[in-house]
Chain A
Amino acid sequence: MKCRAILLSIALACGGTACSTAEESQPVCSRHEASILVLEAQSVPSATYLPCIAELPIGWQFGGSQIRDDGTTLWLDHDRAGFHAVEVVLAPRCDVAAAVQVPPAPDEVGMQTYQQPESLDPFVGTRSLLFPGGCIEYRYRFSEGSASALVIEADRALSSVPRTAVVARVRRDLDLSLCGAGATKCAG
């Protein structure tokens, strides 16, 4: 009886995981209702933008995430650029003292954009997006022998969503407030 009960619960746990993690573990820009975007927003309540995946080109994979009360880290893997080829960090603030300000890309309007290249072959560098209440850092750490041009693909894969869109979606779906920037006052 005990054995069957344990197997059943493990199966339930694993079955549930298999059917729901693939969608929910990736912060897809078009799915404002995704729990992981809500969790990102909770990790830096002041941040007005949240990093997300726009579209993964061939060869790129969403590697994973670590979301805590002091910030979010996502990473992308690539079949040639390697594991953790790009790390995306959402934090309340970034150090851009040694970086150079560059014009923002079309999907970065309203942000201050900085770049700090460290090496071209293999490509190593950091791109920082500063906005009210926080910042997003793209940290490129490509493996030896991978093309620097892959950075263009990585930039295409990554984007950000305004926090207000996620706040509005939570309000609409659950009638609750996602505390922090852009939300109504919370209890406590």
Chain B
Amino acid sequence: MKFVSSSLVGDDQRHKISENFIASQRDARFRPFYFGAILFTVLVAGGALFVDYMIVTEFWTRALANEFLELPGSLASSVAFKSLQVLFATLAAHIFIEHMGVFGRAVFVRVLFLLALTMLGGVGLLLALMSLPAGLADAGLGGNGASLGTALSSLGIETEAAREAAVAQTGLDEARAYQPVLWMASLGVIFLVVTGVAALFLHYALINLKKLFETRDFAERKADMSRLAALEAEYARNREMLIDMERMDHRRNMLWTRLMDSCRAYERGLEGTRTSYLTGRKVRALPAPGRKRQERAAAEERSGQLKACADSQQIARYEALFEDWWSRRQRMSVNDGGPREAVGEVLPPVNTGRRVPTNKAAE
């Protein structure tokens, strides 16, 4: 017979528990990082929302303002409300991201990056146009050369510069026809980039918040593991105790011990009586006439009682009584339909402490 481990938690499971504990502990160490990440991402998302708000406010202001760029009083407050749509746009983008898979999110981020590049390119182009060299600006786009060419052409003299300026002016006029569309497209790109960034950072903030909450898992896991260890220890102790208690000879021994405890208590009581009897006999120094005989009779009676007690204390008597009681108990158990506590029934049958026969031939 070979004894198999009595643990209810298998080795693989225990290994997994240990791995999970280490991972949880590692996560818990990142708690300050997650906290900082939440702050940072929320700040960035807030900043992006603010930029979006300003862009949309400007849009609505330009759309609703009069020729002096002034808003009528009733519309001033509505602009603020209309601009708050950026909040909902950001939330919509956030929900969109949340519903995306890994691949979709990767595509989203790349598209956002391309839009950001376009935005930066546009900003760079504007800056370049604003800081053109003087000679290039003289070519006809409203510089000094252009005004000179205009003056000469008004006198009927057509110069090369005036001809180039006329060509450029035609191109500008064509471009101006698309100006609202270009303006809206630029605004749209900027809006999309900023909203996308806000939504992404909101997503990261939520991820970090989730991780921050998950770090609490470590404390609970630690407590659970301590509890598991305590339960397993109690289980093992209880199991050992049950193995003993299931045995009939153990039961007999325990009952015998209990009987002997009672006998010892009896012995202590009897000892007190003996002592008081001997002490009382010494005190009576001056007996009255006739009392001596009475005392002797009482003493004889007393010693008779004590002798009877001493006789009753024979171990053989207790053993006989115990055996009598035990055999009666066994008979009653059989009459009741079998032993009251079936041997071997106590051990939990599932995966615990099984005794499996070993192959003797193999040994």
**A and B interact:** no
* Interface of B toward A, CB cutoff 8 Å: none
Q: Chain A residues in contact with chain B, CB under 8 A? A: none
